[in-house]
Amino acid sequence: MANDPAERIVDQALARTADQLAAAHSQHPDNPRRCAAGCHSAWPCMSHRFAERARHAARGDWRDAWTARHDLASAGIPVAG
Ligand SMILES: [Zn+2]
């Protein structure tokens, strides 16, 4: 729904990066306490939490998106242009 304010994406690149990150770092189907990407941390792993936050930020205030981009970059995760 294009007119749904909840789906208003202010940062397309950030939203795309978040979706890719969330897709890679999903919950392991056989072990709910693990990440399917093979992270060595307990679920939800840091990458997944970054993805969730970036997803939210990409649909919110542009200042949130800016902060989320900065945090992703700090974690070594490039935001696709
Ligand atoms: Zn992970």
Tens digits of residue pLDDT in 18-58:
999 999 999 999 999 999 998 878 899 999 999 999 999 99
Task: Kindly give the distance from the C-alpha atom of residue 4 to the centroid of ligand 1, in angstroms, as a whole number.
Answer: 30
Verdict on whether the full-model pTM lies above 0.85? no
For residue 1, the SS3 value is coil
**Cα 50 to ligand 1 centroid, rounded to whole Å:** 10
Over residues 49-63, the pLDDT tens digits come to: 999 999 999 998 778
Domain chopping of the chain, boundaries: 8-74
Expressed in angstroms and rounded, the spacing between residue 61 Cα and the centre of ligand 1 is: 26
Q: Is the pLDDT of residue 78 over 80?
A: yes
**Coil, helix or strand for 29?**
coil
Amino acid, single-letter form, for residue 41? S
Interval between CA 37 and ligand 1 midpoint (Å): 5
Q: How far is the CA of 52 from the centre of ligand 1 (A)?
A: 12
Cβ distance 11 to 69 under 8 Å? yes
